[in-house]
Structure 1
């Protein structure tokens, strides 16, 4: 009986020790996840001045979107008593007013959520589809590559602007997400072919060959070995797609192809143009305010993409990891010295 009791107690001790080791390993995994995906990216991104300035600019646009969604600013309604106010002439209307007395700052704020949703939808649609097409085609090769590239070439052969105009007239998209997809309907094709060229060189690398020899699955190789090497290129092209979405939408609103539903920076530009803002110095601010909003958003996106390039640089990551490990060793050694 004593022997059975001793064996049971030893089994319980072993089970408890195994469970504690499992709990510790889970904690280590959580700490490693936080360190690899939260702490290190934040430190690397924030160390670049371009990222800081770009995030500040994008934060201003996000703040305007929040202000509009929360209804914290006045609606852009006409007020003839305040017509043709110049910027900073009346601090109740800091960016001035239009010919009918509409607050230009209110126009920009009201348009911001629509613009941001449209830009995000267009950039994500074009970039995601291009990454899927380019990585699968470049890595698999053979018949898969021929089929996918034939489809891409078909979409590249279609003139982009006429196709977008036809779809815009036929669909009259009022939803910003649908509009973003329509504007970049075939933008992904050229980007997908460029990503394929990048992947063709990466798949011959020694570490990819080693992973393939060990029997690693194709999706895992693409996610772990291929995508990290093309992410700087993908990030830059995501910004290009988002910027293209802004410029294309403004241009189509300006020429009257897209429906004038609500306010939009392109609608504001169109109204300023047809009201003679190009030929009157008193109305020039009506034209400049939406132009500055458009250029500011594009500039912020470009700065963030340039700063994010450091996130995918393995040398920067290795240097940061080495510095953090040396700091931990110094802290542990100082603690041990204090104990003695």
Structure 2
């Protein structure tokens, strides 16, 4: 073999020989944990802090949850004739310290020779009393657990049924889709208020969880139809088709590839469903269409105030009616702003932009991390 042939072969070999790229160093376990924590916890928190609605809504709802769980254990229940009837807000009897209800009275203070006296504020009766001489503030505290239970039961039932019906109908299609959507349309066309009144009159529910489910019985059809429309689009995606071609079961495909994409919209509607259940329950209790003697909540307080003539004698008993009404407005406001904040938290572009473990191109709006 000639030397020139050897040199030609060597040059051709060198031409196509490409030095191998250096393999990336393996990611340590701590880095993987930090990446997971940043993507699923830290970046959503950063997004939440960029909008005032999420912190405000979360603070309001947390305060009500603490009030309905811890507050009822620390604050004693109101008692009949514990104070003069129809005592106005911040006008309770003077006393140095009152320990029965966990409140403290601050008596009048004088500022030396000026003769100026600060008006005393009786924190023992911050919202006054009703016609039974019961502390309204402590009544609101002990009426909160029932409201939270009804809101939770209604939100879980409405979103759970809607998620089940919408995903199965949209993913399976065919006869199953037709049957489920026919049932959904039938429930949607039934008048909600007469149905709820009829069920409440027949069963006379007293458990707040049962009442929440009854009130949410007409809240799921609209969400089910919306989720079905989204599933019809998602099931045509390439990764869903690949999962089905690999032989994965429908339940696995729904759990891994379909339902996670529906959760942002579902959670936002869950907050709206809870707000609707709260409004409906208070309205029905106020009108006396739900059994009043078996439970105690804000709607029962408003019903008692109305029956006692709070509207006709606002100067004397108006605070009894307006106190639970104001609390209802604050709770509803918290649910609204919290659901609006969730819309930004579940936005994938915003989460990628605020993530330190995943790169983000501000010009293209596309995540550059793996």
Pair in the same fold by TM > 0.5 = yes
Instruction: Kindly provide the CA deviation profile for residues 232-260 of structure 1, in whole angstroms up to 9, marking residues without a partner as x.
Output: 32222212211111111111111212111
For residues 72-99 of structure 1, what are the alpha-carbon distances to aligned partners after superposition, in whole Å with 9 as ceiling and x for unaligned? Answer: 1132222274222222233211112112
After TM superposition, the structure 1 = structure 2 runs for residues 315-330 of structure 1, keeping only pairs within 5 Å, are: 315-321=349-355, 323-324=356-357
Q: Which residue of 2 aligns with 1:10?
A: none
Give runs of aligned pairs for residues 2-81 of structure 1, distance below 5 A. 30-70=33-73, 72-79=74-81, 81=83
Q: Which residue of 1 aligns with 2:219?
A: 187
The structure-2 alpha-carbon separation of the partners of 1:223 and 1:320, relative to structure 1 and needing over 3 Å to count, comes to farther
Q: Is it true that 1:203 corresponds to 2:235 in the alignment?
A: yes
2:89 corresponds to: 87
CA contact (8 A) 1:73 1:106 kept: yes
* Larger helix fraction of residues: 1
Q: Which residue of 2 aligns with 1:337?
A: none
Give the superposition deviation at 1:61.
0.7
Distance 1:198 1:295 in 2: 33
Which secondary structure state, in structure 2, belongs to the residue aligned with residue 258 of structure 1? coil
- Residues 280-301 of structure 1 show CA distances to partners (whole Å, capped at 9, x for unaligned) of 2322111111111111111111
Change (3 A) 1:143 1:107: same
**1:113-172 deviations in whole A, cap 9, x for unaligned?**
111011101101101110111111112211221121122122223222222112212222
Structure 2 counterpart of 1:306: 340
Give the structure 1 partner of residue 112 of structure 2.
Answer: none
- Residues 25 and 143 of structure 1: is their aligned pair in 2 closer, same or farther, counting only changes over 3 Å? farther
Looking at structure 1, the residues matched to 274 and 354 of structure 2 have their Cα atoms a distance apart, in angstroms, of 31
Tell me which residue corresponds to 1:18. none
Q: Helix, strand or coil: the match of 1:48? A: coil
The aligned residue for residue 265 of structure 1 is 298
CA contact (8 A) 2:54 2:338 kept: yes
The alignment partner of 1:278 has SS state of coil
> Which residue of structure 1 lines up, in the alignment, with residue 101 of structure 2?
none
2:39–2:357 CA contact under 8 A, matched in 1: no
Q: Residue in 1 aligned with 2:144?
A: 112
Between the aligned partners of 1:27 and 1:175, the Cα distance in structure 2 is: 47
Query: Which ranges of structure 2 fall in alignment gaps of 5 or more residues?
Result: 1-25, 92-121, 360-370
Structure-1 separation of matches of 2:207 and 2:83: 34
Structure whose alpha-carbon radius of gyration is higher:
2
Counterparts of 2:207 and 2:49, CA distance in 1: 34
**C-alpha distance 223-311 of structure 1, shift in aligned 2 (>3 A):** farther
Instruction: Quote the residue 1:252 is aligned against.
Output: 284
Aligned-partner Cα distance in 2 for 1:96–1:62: 23
Which secondary structure state, in structure 2, belongs to the residue aligned with residue 277 of structure 1? coil
Q: For 2:146 and 2:302, how far apart are their aligned partners in 1?
A: 16
Corresponding position of 1:129? 161
Q: Assess if the C-alpha contact under 8 Å between 1:78 and 1:101 holds in 2.
A: yes
Partners of 1:121 and 1:181 within 8 A in 2: yes
Q: Does residue 1:276 correspond to 2:309, yes or no?
A: yes
Paired with 1:325 and 1:128, the residues of 2 have a C-alpha distance of 32
2:352–2:358: 8 Å Cα contact kept in structure 1?
Answer: no
Give the structure 2 partner of residue 6 of structure 1.
Answer: none
